[in-house]
Structure 1
Amino acid sequence: MKTFTKAILFLFSVAFLVHSCGRNDTLVGRNFHAVSTEFNTLYNGDIALQKGIATVNNAFTENFWELLPIERMEVKDEVRLSNEANNSDFERAEEKAIKAIQKHTITGDDGKEKNPQIDEAYLMLGKARYYDQRFVPALAAFNNILNKYPASDKINQVKVWREKSNMRLGSNEIAIKNLKRHLEQEEVKGQDLADISATLAEAFINIKKKDSALYYLKTAATETKVNNEKARYHFIIGQLYNEFGEKDNANLAFDAVIDLHRKIPRAFYINAHLAKATNFDVNSGDKIAFEEYLAELEENRENRPFLGKIYHRIAEYNREEELDSLSEAYYNKSLRATQGDQVLNARNYVTLGDMYFDRKAYKTAGSYYDSTLTNMVEKTKQYRVVKRKRENLEDVIYYEDIAKVNDSILYLVNLPKVEQVTVFEKLIENLKAQELAAEEQAKIQAAKSANSGGVALDQRPSFARNNRANLPGVNGPPGSGGSNFYFYNQTAVAFGKNEFLRQWGDRKLEDNWRFSNSRGSLNTNTEAIDNIVANATEDERYDPEFYIKTLPTEQTQIDSIAKERNYAYYQLGLIYKENFSEYQLAKSKFEALLKSNPEERLIIPSKYNLYKIYEILGQNGEAEITKNEILSKYPDSRYAEILRNPNSQLIKDENSAETIYEKLFRQFEKQEYAAVITSAEEQIKVFEGDGFVPKFEILKASALGRLKGFEAYKENVNYIALTYPNSEEGKRALEILNTAIPALENKEFTPDEDSNAFTVIYEFNTNEGDLISQFMVDLKAAIDRTNHKNLTLSKDVYNENTVFVVVHGLEFKTSALGFGQTLQDYKEDNTKGITRPHIAMSTTNYTIVQRHKNLSDYLNPE
């Protein structure tokens, strides 16, 4: 009996518990589902959510060169509306949140939710969707909490997340309005206030109201208890103050980041130091203390991952102090030390490019700009600026190379035999010194490799302006274990001297030696013989006579070299004047050209450009002399006409390259090819050096192709590609050579039976103009009498002596063969038919005939 009673009681208790633990509005039911939701479903969901957030954070790279985002998250441009998650962790978190909502929701008799964890489930659902960048579904989840659970203890967080979702959808003004209203209506403190203030700051930054953003960021930085957030907010405050020009306030913000030291990521700590260092005023600051400060940053072993940026700042400081050699060394060290920071690489490369550009070393500058572009994001303003600068250097590099090489050759040719031997003996000495230095360098590198436990010389700390002995590689005087230092290696010293002579020539010890025009003879002639040295045999390399024999001796060769050099001078003068406003450089090129017995076609434009440069430089006396020379010696030139009537718009319009080109192009459209070719050749001479010359060249090439055929076109396109390689027309010509020409080369006819378009051709002599016109009238009238309503007529130039009148639009070969006969036989009202001989041909073969001028091959295939 007792056993039976116990069993009954047990079953009753189980039934009671099962009933109570169902989704009923009872004390046991509410607590059971709340505990189960919090410590089972939501716990597992939160683990997945945090794992997903860590993935998002790790995928984001901080760009301290620009204003940091307030939230560490890379947002894509697309707005995703689907319910499919991209990240499996967020998908799992979303599944757990949905499961909690579906299985543990308890609705009371009053219609309200009784499980206090359901709002947490919706919050997790919204966060998972938000971090997965599905902002519309996320917004729906957050709105659900606000609508159903207005008394939730998470209401402050929910409002922050809702407005963050609004911001991601572009509704920044709505986010600002809602959050400001919430702050007015509710008393918010602590982390909730920090989060709301940070979100408001981000919204204000998005709408370009950075002063308002600064106000809320200060509140967020004060209220947050998360050190990483505190560092981020203070750093952004410093960046904003820098934008406002308030460096003192910016430094205070960066100091707040520095004070957190090991509590925050090292990247924030170092970049705060560097941002503060960037604000250093070289005119009023303590330079010695600042140099020690930079040296301390450089020497701290913990900062090794950031040496690239540290070296860059040291380079910037030295450049401000006009220590160009030292700054260049540090820019290069920064490049070697960077760890995939493309922005830093781009800044280093572009600065080095600018430095070489200022030194007039345009070829080297161009190489640095090339490297800059590979490290920049395309379709940005900075990329376009550097790309345009690099493109402007193309012609400079091209013509400077020609001028240097040809100058070198002409210099050597004009030397007496004895001096030629002396020059090449010096060259041979240099070659031997270089080879010895290379051998010594190989030995040093081998020794370094063997000493694997040592620190490479170029990795040692080196910055301290008040101690120049700390320059890279200094190990001490001879005998102190530092014998590898190049100052104490006589072979390396000799090699360095020779390299200096090779690049700069024999310079005097004076200020601004880099910009001096005085160069020794060695530098002048090595440009022309580098390739000869590379291809010489062992015996020839050390024989002066070998080099002397390579010099041109025929006068025609020498004249050709001088002609090419003069043209390069002219082009350089134009480029320096028009593209870079380097008037002194342009002046020197034009003056050197006029002293070099140039061709007649280059004299007048050179003098005119010199006249304009003299005016710009304020050299009025020289300008007047040059102007009078043009007017007296070349009174009929267009330049003299411009000088006599500088304000005449009519003269400018009628004689401008643009106007003449437009007239020629209209002639080309009228198939006046012979006239276009003749006129284009004249204008190419008149506008020598003008940017429109390549346009005249390509118009001439097109006219030659239409008149003389494919081979003439190909030859002239090739000439344009070689002669004007850096112009738009030259580049287009090269593209035509590589793509279109191979496709047009085929001159084999196709079987007419394979075509569905045919022509009927009537042949005339070019001088039969009146006859052609009357024939076309008669032919049109005859066609109108037939049933063919879709036929068209054209008059096509075939070559200098032949013109075709062509009927287009026939569909079948039989139609084409019979069409001419039909017109010939057809008579009406006593009018004569079209009795002239004709040729029936497929449209495809007619195109080949016109392209290759091979009508005779078509008519006589044997």
Structure 2
Amino acid sequence: MGTKYNVLYNGNIALERGKEGVNNEYTENFWELLPVERMKVTEDAFLPGQTKNADFERAEEKAIKAIQRHGMNINGKEKNPQIDEAYLLLGQARYFDKRFVPAMAAFNNILNKYPTSDKINQVKIWREKTSMRLDNDQGAIDKLKRLLEEEELEDQDLADAQATLAQAYINIKAKDSALVHLEVAAQNTKINREKARYRYIKGQLYNEFGHKDSANIEFDKIIDMHRKIPRSFYINAHLEKSNNFDTSNGDLVAFEEYLSDLEENRENRPFLDKIYYRIAEYHRGKGSDSLSEVYYNKSLRKTTKDKYLRSLSYETLGNMYFDRNIYKTAGAYYDSTMTAMVLNSKPYRIIKKKRENLDDVILYEGIAQVNDSILRMVSLPKEEQLAIYTKYAEDQRLKAEEERKRQEEASKKQSSQVTMSPGVDRKAEMMRSKSSAMILPGSSRNLQTPGQSPKGGSSSFYFYNPTTVAYGKNEFLKLWGERKLQDNWRLNNQRGSSENIAIGGELIAESELDERFNPDLYLASLPTEQTEIDSIAKERNFAYYQLGIIYKEKFKELELAQTRFEKLLQNNPEDRLILPSKYNLYHIYKELGLNNKAEEMKTVIINDYPDSRYAEILLNPQSELAKDENSPEAIYTKLYKQFTNEEYAKVIAEADVQINRLEGDIYVPKFEILKASAKGRLYGFNAYKESISYIALNYGNSEEGKKAQEIMDTALPVLAKKDFVSDEDASNFNVIFQFDNNSEEDIDAFIKILDEEVAKVKYFDLSTSKDVYDENTTFVVVHGLKSIQGANGFVELLKSEEKDKRGRPVKPKITKDYFAISSPNYAIVQRHKNLNTYLELQ
């Protein structure tokens, strides 16, 4: 009795309190298939005996106390019938504390020691729930099915077993098998929130299988339970049912009334974010973008913990603005989308990539719009230009006048509200002033002096009211501007730099009069030199080309890409942009099903550019010309191989040829970056820096351009250092033999002899290489020496005379001059081509 009504009673209370805390901490994610059991499992690691929840710890302590202090094991038989209950409490406390291995041990202890317990079926169910948490789903299925076959479970035990079996089937992706078990669980449980949960999962599964009618039956059953279940299930059942509505065949008027009822129901206020989102989706599906945008923003304005819902609303609004070509606003919405997403998740990376690409769209769209506007104005006669700017200046003046009137009205309204403080009427004020005048000199009461606010109340004196003071300051600035505290402050030459003057009853700054309302200034800002106009047109055309490529390749917005390429071709672009634009348009027309236009473009390319690789590809589409020896890919691969072989001059020359041949192709930046690397190896740091800067400036939209910018920001400042380091700070040294490329010396023969001599040295791990220094100089390098003295000694050893078998001296094979250098200093010499500086310091 003490075990049941004292120890276990308190333990069960702690367990229920802990379960309630777990339920309160858990947030349902109705966007995904709900789990059968409302509990979130994390991967946190805990030491033995360490728990996460104080209530579960107390429940476990009570269970252990009951077992250790109240157990009556006599002759191998337990005489206390409450001990099995204690082990069940112990296992449940550990289970909800997410310590599944110790929980499994507790449940197994009951099965082994108390097989006749009246709780044995519950224990078996709990053991399989624990086994499922340990990823043994198939084992849980087999044992639960055996339990259901061997035992006649009823009520809650049957519901728990069936629900656990359903979750196991869901875990192994056999979701269709879970439906029957969820139905049995829903029919047998007496707990309404569990009944609603099981039916909601059934509805989700039916939706996943495409059986909307069956799903709606389940959601209707949840709706019929109404206040018997948590409101979240009731609302989400309504929303899921509304998602299954057939807008093409259903009664739209009745459906809109249905959504309105959900919106206007006061009990649904905590869920208005989801309701507004559903209404927005409905209007967007109908094509009412303006109305849907209103509801998306309503959803966002509601305070919600549902980050996924916020991210959906932000992303949808971003897509809507993107489709309307309002890219700056779209980018802002995408930024907000990422703040509501899980960092580094796949959806986050997709949005981030889209946002980064949008930076280029915003840049080039801005260039295209501004330059188009300038060129359009330049093309007009002077009279039309003046008329347009005059009208614009007049519009700006009217706007400024309206703003001035609005501010004056606001100031007058503010000043009209300056009255005596509440609670102090005029009669009382007059009586108080009379009584003050009757006070005799020498009285203990103090008179109120000028400038002092009356104690306990407010005064009507001008300077005591901050509102009237602020209004007065504002009016002074309007009339007089900024004035210094000095004599003759009213004179015109005392006006401050930000003064305002009154003209025609209108207060407007002089700078505003000069700039905003003077059409001649707008005219003067237009370019007049033909070279400047040509530069603007060239920049505009390049922007259109880049936009066409971005829309086609990165966003798959073929119609937007089509308009940009077509506009480009209408604007007399440079020759280098014409052919790739036409070739891209040919593919766009084909993908959009505009076959006649595609054939016309194909004919133009073949007839006007018969020697181009584009014409070859169009004439031989099955030959995979893009992958033959004339394709950019193959040429780039060949050039890169030459680069690794240190044929830098050939790489630079061939890269120039390909850059001119493939103008506008996506491979051009790749050839540019390879050419920059070759120039850096051959001509040094300054040449490399110049080339990288050119790539970052002219190919900023490409991956190579972005990489070049990153190199400029991070790598170049480090590579720019050319101070030599001390030999004492180095651990690796080289021996350098210098050759003039214009001499008749056989470098390869020298290397062969050097390799033979190096191979004789057993106490160093040495190797040799042939390195290009510049166009006229080649180094043969011995690597692997550990000190400057060892490097010098090694070469002297090579130069020393040897003796043959008969003891006669033999001329050394290596007699060429050399110098020793540490590996860090050798890198500096190669990078900055400052060998002479290094040799002078030795």
TM-score bracket for the superposition, by shorter chain length = 0.7 to 0.9
Report the AA paired with residue 31 of structure 2.
W
Indicate the SS of the match to 2:247: coil
In 1, are the aligned partners of 2:617 and 2:625 still within 8 Å (CA)?
A: no
Q: Choose which of 746, 749, 752 in structure 2 pairs with 1:774.
A: 749
Residues 179 and 792 of structure 1: is their aligned pair in 2 closer, same or farther, counting only changes over 3 Å?
A: closer
Specify the alignment match of 1:858 in structure 2.
838
Q: List per-residue Cα deviations over 1:546-596 (Å, max 9, x = no partner).
A: 333333333332222222221222222333344455444333333322232
1:746, distance to aligned residue in structure 2 (A): 1.5
User: How far apart, CA to CA, are the structure 2 residues paired with 1:393 and 1:198?
Assistant: 48
From 646, 658, 663, the equivalent of 1:671 is 646
Q: Is the 8 A contact 1:338 1:344 kept in 2?
A: no
Query: What SS class does the counterpart of residue 152 from structure 2 fall into?
Result: coil
* Alpha-carbon shift at residue 847 of structure 1 (Å): 1.0
Deviation at 1:736, TM superposition (A): 2.5
Matched letter for residue 685 of structure 1? N
Aligned to 2:74, the other structure's residue is in SS state: coil
Does 2:131 match 1:166? yes
Moved more, 594-603 or 573-582: 573-582
Match of 2:811 in 1: 831
**In the TM superposition, what is the alpha-carbon distance from 1:819 to its structure 2 partner?**
3.7
Q: Residue 340 of structure 1 aligns with which residue?
A: 305
Report the Cα offset of residue 338 of structure 1.
4.3
Which residue of structure 2 lines up, in the alignment, with residue 212 of structure 1?
177
Question: Following TM superposition, by how much is the alpha carbon of 1:618 offset from its aligned partner in structure 2, in angstroms?
Answer: 5.4
CA spacing shift, 1:311–1:122, aligned 2, 3 Å: same
Q: CA–CA distance in 2 between the matches of 1:796 and 1:769? A: 18
Matches of 1:571 and 1:138 in 2, distance apart? Answer: 62
Cα separation, partners in 2 of 1:258 and 1:565, compared to 1, 3 Å: same
Say yes or no: does 1:141 pair with 2:82: no
Number of the residue aligned with 2:95: 130
Q: CA offsets, 1:362-410, max 9 Å, x none?
A: 4544443343333233565544554555455454344323222222222
The 5 A counterparts of 1:73-152 are 73-77=39-43, 82-109=48-75, 111-152=76-117
Q: Rate the CA distance shift 1:620–1:222 in 2: closer, same or farther, 3 A.
A: closer
1:224 aligned partner? 189
Matches within 5 A, 1:605-644: 605-616=580-591, 622-644=597-619
* Residues 434/174 of structure 1: CA separation in 2 closer, same or farther (3 Å cut): farther
Residue 719 of structure 1 is matched in structure 2 by: 694
Shift of 1:231: 1.9
Q: How many angstroms does 1:419 deviate by?
A: 2.8
Identity of aligned residues (%): 60
Letter in 1 for 2:22: V
SS of residue paired to 1:647:
helix
SS at match of 1:760: strand
Alignment-mate amino acid for residue 632 of structure 2: A
Structure 1 residue 538: deviation in Å?
A: 6.6
Counterpart of 1:313, as a letter, is: R
C-alpha distance in 1 between matches for 2:412 and 2:90: 62
Specify whether residues 811 and 645 from structure 1 end up closer, same or farther in structure 2 by C-alpha distance, changes over 3 A only: same
CA contact (8 A) 1:258 1:272 kept: yes
More deviation in 849-858 or 640-649?
Answer: 640-649
Are residue 156 (structure 1) and residue 142 (structure 2) matched?
A: no
The 2-side partners of 1:827 and 1:418 are apart by 97
Q: CA, structure 1 residues 598+59, in 2 after alignment: closer, same or farther (shift >3 Å)?
A: same
Q: What's the C-alpha RMSD, in Å, of the aligned pairs?
A: 3.0
Aligned length: 741
- 1:136 deviates by 1.1
Shift of 1:206: 1.2
Rate the CA distance shift 1:815–1:69 in 2: closer, same or farther, 3 A. Answer: same
- Could you say which residue in structure 1 is the equivalent of 2:666? 691
Conserved? CA contact 2:36–2:198, under 8 Å: yes
Q: Is the 8 A contact 1:81 1:137 kept in 2?
A: no
CA displacement at 1:157 relative to structure 2: 1.9
Pairing partner for 2:231 from 263, 266, 269: 266
Q: Which amino acid aligns with 1:178?
A: K
Name whichever of 694-703 and 659-668 sits farther off: 694-703
Deviation at 1:247, TM superposition (A): 2.4
Query: How far off is 1:707 after superposition?
Result: 1.4
The residue that corresponds to 1:294 in the other structure is 259
Of 43, 55, 59, the match for 2:9: 43
| Pair 1:615–1:269, CA change in 2 (3 A) | closer
Aligned to 2:623: 648
User: In the aligned structure 1, how far is the partner of 2:551 from the partner of 2:666?
Assistant: 14
For residues 713-742 of structure 1, give each alpha carbon's deviation from its aligned partner in whole angstroms, at most 9, with x where no partner exists: 223223333333343323333332333222
Task: Say if 2:705 is the partner of 1:730.
Answer: yes
- C-alpha displacement at 1:445, in angstroms? 15
Instruction: Report what 2:287 is aligned to.
Output: 322
Change beyond 3 A, Cα 1:619–1:148: closer
What residue number does 1:175 align with?
Answer: 140
The residue aligned with 1:813 is 788
- Residues 324-370 of structure 1: per-residue CA shift (max 9 Å, x gap): 11011111111111412111112212222332343344454444334
Identify which of 19, 26, 37 aligns with 1:53: 19
Deviation at 1:701, TM superposition (A): 1.6
- Residue 534 (structure 2) pairs with residue 559 (structure 1): yes
Query: Could you say which residue in structure 2 is the equivalent of 1:521?
Result: none
Asked if the contact 1:571–1:689 (Cα under 8 Å) also holds between the matched residues in 2, the reply is no
How far 1:666 moved relative to its partner? 0.4
Task: Find the counterpart in structure 2 of residue 421 from structure 1.
Answer: 386
Instruction: Find the aligned partners of 2:100 and 2:560 in 1 and give their Cα distance.
Output: 59
What residue number does 2:569 align with? 594
Q: Which amino acid in structure 2 is aligned with residue 210 of structure 1? A: K
Q: Is the 1:79–1:135 contact (alpha carbons within 8 Å) kept by the matching residues of 2?
A: no
Deviations 1:232-259 (Å, cap 9, x if unpaired)? 1222222222223232332222222222
Distance 1:91 1:433, change over 3 A: farther
CA shift digits 1:590-639 (9 cap, x unpaired): 33222322222222222333344444555555545544443444332222
Q: Separation in 1 of the partners of 2:810 and 2:625?
A: 57
Q: CA deviation at 1:834?
A: 3.4
Native 8 Å contact 1:70 1:198 kept in 2:
yes
Aligned residue in 2 for 1:255: 220
TM-score normalized by the length of structure 2:
0.82
Structure 1 residue matching 2:250: 3-state secondary structure: coil
What is the alpha-carbon distance in structure 2 between the residues aligned to residue 150 and residue 252 of structure 1? 42
Q: Which amino acid aligns with 2:274?
A: K
- Residues of 1 paired with 2:732 and 2:656: CA distance? 38
8 Å contact from structure 1 (residues 574, 689) kept in 2: no
Moved more, 91-100 or 813-822: 813-822
> How do residues 149-548 of structure 1 correspond to structure 2 at under 5 angstroms?
149-378=114-343, 382-383=347-348, 385-387=350-352, 389-390=354-355, 393-429=358-394, 431=396, 539-548=514-523
SS of equivalent residue, structure 1 residue 225: coil
Which stretch has the larger CA shift, 253-262 or 828-837? Answer: 828-837
CA distance in 2, matches of 1:661, 1:444: 69
Q: 1:627 to 1:66 in 2, by over 3 A?
A: closer
In structure 2, what is the Cα distance between the partners aligned to 1:651 and 1:311?
A: 51
Which residue of 796, 802, 814 corresponds with 2:771? 796
- Give yes or no for contact 2:315–2:333 (8 Å, CA) kept in 1: yes
- CA apart distance, 1:784: 4.9
Gaps of 5+ in 2: 415-510, 804-808
Paired letter, 2:78: E
The AA in structure 2 aligned to 1:857 is T
Q: In 2 relative to 1, CA 826–413 (structure 1 residues): closer, same or farther, beyond 3 Å?
A: farther
Distance across 1 between alignment mates of 2:212 and 2:403: 50
8 Å CA contact retained: 2:627, 2:633: no
Q: CA deviation at 1:673?
A: 1.1
1-side partners of 2:98 and 2:413: how far apart? 56
Q: Distance in 1 between matches of 2:654 and 2:744?
A: 22
